[in-house]
Amino acid sequence: MTERVPVVVIVGAGFGGLAAAKALRSAPVRIVLIDRTNHHLFQPLLYQVATSVLTPGQIAAPIRGILRTQRNTTTLLGDVTGVAKEQKLVFVNNADSDEVPVRYDYLILATGAGQSYFGHDEFKQYAPGLKTLADAVAIRNNILQAFEQAEAEEDPVLHRDLLTFVLVGAGPAGVEMAGAMAVLVRSSLRSEFRRIDPFRRCERGPKIYRCS
Ligand SMILES: Cc1cc2nc3c(=O)[nH]c(=O)nc-3n(C[C@H](O)[C@H](O)[C@H](O)COP(=O)(O)OP(=O)(O)OC[C@H]3O[C@@H](n4cnc5c(N)ncnc54)[C@H](O)[C@@H]3O)c2cc1C
């Protein structure tokens, strides 16, 4: 009688989930790796996509491609909606079906974290999160659209409003984002516009950068 191989279900193919799958590559287990996207994302470079410095494909790699030689691992595209601990099941929504049960012997939940507005969810509509490729592309489009609107605007007084970007938070992400925006303006936008001067002065205050 052949012994049943334990099934390890890993939810999330970010840094954590992928590291867990790779660590188990030679273990006598069957791994089922489930992610709601088909790509592993290098989140630390999302701000470079949000400012057009990199393309989405440069910071995302297909999960299946990364694990193509890892024979004990199956990759599933789907959104895990729940866990039934007693029955050792996770439930997955995919393109065709809802609540598909997937059995596990061991479960690793590596779903990452969402952004927090620290009690100010009303900020969300003005300041979307920067956690996914879709977020980065949406921010990139908003930034480029602002420059287009300013170029189309004949009233120079309104240029200032259209080209004022406020970054709240001067931690690594905020400072990196400010730097990447400066690179975008200096490297390409500066020579491409005629009615506006996209290059604007930035001043450093005691705690933050203030642009005028
Ligand atoms: C803009 C930005 C800049 C950063 N810069 C740095 C840095 O400079 N240095 C540093 O050390 N860290 C940085 N980080 C943090 C770092 O990227 C995270 O700590 C890391 O990605 C966390 O890894 P994780 O595997 O826990 O989660 P994630 O990488 O978020 O992966 C979670 C995965 O789970 C999937 N998932 C989530 N929920 C479900 C579900 N219900 N069903 C199926 N799949 C699901 C997601 O699609 C995703 O693929 C940065 C993060 C961001 C957003």
- Could you tell me the residue ranges of all domains in the chain? 7-109, 121-211
Confidence at residue 212, expressed as pLDDT on a 0 to 100 scale: 47
* pLDDT reading at 210 higher than 80: no
* Buried-exposed string 19-47: b where 16+ CB fall within 10 A, e elsewhere: ebbeebeeeebbbbbbbbbebbbbbebbb
- Would the pLDDT of 194 be above 60? yes
Q: Which of 35, 38, 77, 137 for a ligand 1 pocket mutation test, highest count of atoms within 8 Å of Cβ?
A: 35
- C-alpha to C-alpha distance for 16 and 38, rounded to whole angstroms: 16
Tokens at 22, concatenated: 């790779």
Nearest atom of ligand 1 to the alpha carbon of 92: 42
Residues enclosing ligand 1, CB less than 6 A?
Answer: 11-17, 34-37, 43-44, 46-47, 79-80, 110-112, 130-131, 172-173
What are residue 120's phi and psi, to 5 degrees? -120, 60
In this predicted model, what pLDDT tens digit does every residue of 72-126 receive, in sequence order? 999 999 999 999 999 999 999 999 999 999 999 999 999 999 888 889 999 888 8
pLDDT tier at 165, thresholds 50, 70, 90: confident
pTM of the predicted model as reported, rounded to 2 decimal places:
0.89
**Among protein residues, the one whose CA lies closest to atom 38 of ligand 1:** 111
CATH 3.40.50.1980 fits 7-109, yes or no: no
The predicted-structure confidence for 4-42, as pLDDT tens digits, reads as follows 899 999 999 999 999 999 999 999 999 999 999 999 999
> Tell me: the pLDDT tens digits for 118-130?
899 998 888 888 9
Angstrom distance (rounded) from CA 81 to CA 165 = 37
Q: Which atom of ligand 1 is nearest to the CA of 43?
A: 17
Task: Give the phi and the psi of residue 23 in degrees, each rounded to 5.
Answer: -65, -25
- Whole-angstrom distance, CA of residue 26 vs CA of residue 131: 32
Confidence of residue 206 (pLDDT cuts 50, 70, 90): low
Residue 202: pLDDT over 60: no
Span from the CA of 12 to the centroid of ligand 1 (angstroms) = 9
In percent, the amount of the chain with pLDDT more than 70 equals 92
Nearest to 118, CA basis, from 165, 166, 168: 168
